[in-house]
Amino acid sequence: MTILLDVLVLLAFLSTLAGTLAMRMPSGPEGPVGAWILFLFPCLFVAILVTTFAVKGMMSFIPGGRTLQFVAAVGIVISLGTAFFASLDRNNNVLPTALASVPYLILIGCFAAVHRPSMAEPRVATWTAAVLLGGAALAGWGLTGVGVATSVRSNLEESAARANREQANENQFEQEEVAEYRALSGDVPLSTLLRFTWSRNEEIKKEAQDRVRRWPELDDALIELLNNGDETVISYVALFYDAPPAKLAPAWGAMLQRQRQNWNVLQYDEYAGKWEPNLSVYFEGAKKIQQAGGDLRPQLRSWYELLNKSKGLRNLAAFVKTLL
């Protein structure tokens, strides 16, 4: 076993030396292309070494038993890999130089762990292995912790920045919307006014809804818009019109029939469920109109058949079924 471990130490040393020399060779601004592959070999050999140490109990200088020895083995490999990775940075002359000795110190620790029982001073070898390998393990897990903490902080900062950008955009859109509404003429058409009934600005939203409610012959105007294919009226009736009358039923039914033809492709869409918010307004409005005495069951039945065989829309289909 000792001979095999010595061979692994030697192979790790030679492959580390080869990688170090390759990195020092003259090259372009991006460094020796592919030189990082050479560092995979010492990482592999050291991983086998420290795993063997943990299995055989050869790192008894690490307290906590075999479990912590395996944990330490992982930390050692992390330190080794980090040192190799840092050595690839050609933009920093200090860090690669400072970390160049780390792989060799780890190999010295491995050699001491292999031969400490047979050395004249086992205590010195034990302390050497404990300091070098234990220190590498602590450094490896420390780097992992710092990396995780940095990643979490970076993600939080990115999320906060994204939220701030979105809020700034929303504020800008709201200001533009307010300015657009204030610039409306007194004879603005109903279809234009309906767009502001769900404004981002609560004052504009309330004012626009009040103006719509006072619109002369509102129901006849809504019917005309429905017959002309204006979709702003659909959201208004579904979301804000408290009690639309039954006289809207023929125009609403015709709209449902047209939209049913337009949305026939839903049954072939693998992700049809994402359209539920777009579709639900048709049926919320239909519910109100039917409560007022209108009959939209023929159109709703056709919609139910489509929704029931479309993926992700079974809940909406169940709602439509209650209207039949």
Distance, in Å, from the CA atom of 32 to the CA atom of 88, rounded to the nearest integer, reads 9
> Band of the pLDDT at 262, cuts 50, 70, 90?
very high
Percent of the chain with pLDDT over 90: 38
Distance, in Å, from the CA atom of 76 to the CA atom of 59, rounded to the nearest integer, reads 12
C-alpha dist (Å) from residue 61 to 39, 48, 105, 118: 28, 19, 17, 16
Burial class (CB in 10 A: 0-12, 13-18, 19+), 54: buried
Q: What's the pLDDT at 156?
A: 87
Read off the pTM. 0.58
pLDDT per position as a tens digit, 120-167: 777 888 888 888 888 888 888 888 888 788 888 888 888 888 888 888
> Band of the pLDDT at 56, cuts 50, 70, 90?
confident
**Token digits for 251?**
């125009």
Domain edges within the chain: 2-141, 217-321
Q: What's the pLDDT at 28?
A: 43
Distance, in Å, from the CA atom of 53 to the CA atom of 113, rounded to the nearest integer, reads 8
Distance, in Å, from the CA atom of 36 to the CA atom of 45, rounded to the nearest integer, reads 15
- Tell me the one-letter amino acid at 273: G
Angle at 187 between CA 183 and CA 191, to 5 degrees: 85
The 8-class DSSP code of residue 263 comes to T
Q: What is the mean pLDDT of residues 196-208?
A: 90
Whether 27 has a pLDDT exceeding 70, the answer reads: no
